[in-house]
Amino acid sequence: MAEFKTIQDVVKLALIKEQEAVEFYSKAATIVANPGTRVMLQELAREEQQHVAYLSNIRAGKAAAAAGSKPLPPGMDLSAYLVSEPLSDNSTPQDVMILAMKREDKAIAFYSGQLPVVKGTELLSLFEQLLAWEKEHKERLEAEYDRVVLKDN
């Protein structure tokens, strides 16, 4: 496992996790049968791609360079934010929705945990916005789960 020492490491991890989210939602959209759910997952993939673009711009620009040398506080366990559940071609639509909600939970925990780390840097407003977007994603997924999966229960 990589060692995380600076805010630049946090931005790099966030970028990787957002890229993985794009791949997850793109694949998930091919698995579900419900057309509304498929459209929502495709929208989430596009939104996650926007997050990738924001983080890529930060990484390439001066904001990350300026903040990147700031050391992380001791005891940062960034591996706690990694998602290990795999999505497969055999995943049911219910599996897809549960995995998606878990991924958003991890993203929310990640960005919430990083706010104190990026406080006082140019990254604070971006991480606050990413946190808000991930919360909104989870709310949409929960509503869709309720509408599609729980409708008959």
The torsion region of residue 134 among left (phi > 0), alpha (psi -120 to 50) and beta comes to: alpha
Alpha-carbon distance of 124 to 2, in angstroms, equals: 24
Reply yes or no on whether the pLDDT at 76 is more than 70.
Answer: no
Alpha-carbon distance of 46 to 139, in angstroms, equals: 17
Nearest to 56 by CA among 114, 126, 125: 126
Reply yes or no on whether the pLDDT at 136 is more than 80.
Answer: yes
Nearest to 36 by CA among 146, 152, 153: 146
Report yes or no on 26 lying in a domain.
yes
Domain that holds residue 48: 7-148
Report yes or no on 1 lying in a domain.
no
Tell me what percent of the residues of the chain surpass a pLDDT of 90. 33
At 150, the pLDDT band (50, 70, 90 cuts) reads: confident
Reply yes or no on whether the pLDDT at 134 is more than 80.
Answer: yes
pLDDT (tens digit, 9 = 90+) per residue, 77-107? 444 544 556 778 778 888 888 889 888 988 9
Are the CB atoms for 36 and 101 separated by under 8 Å?
A: no
- Number of folded domains that form the chain: 1
Alpha-carbon distance of 52 to 50, in angstroms, equals: 5
Report yes or no on 153 lying in a domain.
no
**Angle, vertex CA 99, rays to CA 97 and CA 101, nearest 5:** 70
Report yes or no on 131 lying in a domain.
yes
Lowest mean pLDDT among 1-10, 18-27, 113-122: 1-10
Q: What is the pLDDT of residue 96?
A: 86
The enclosing domain of 107 has a CATH number of: 1.20.1260.10
Q: What is the pLDDT of residue 62?
A: 55
Report yes or no on 2 lying in a domain.
no
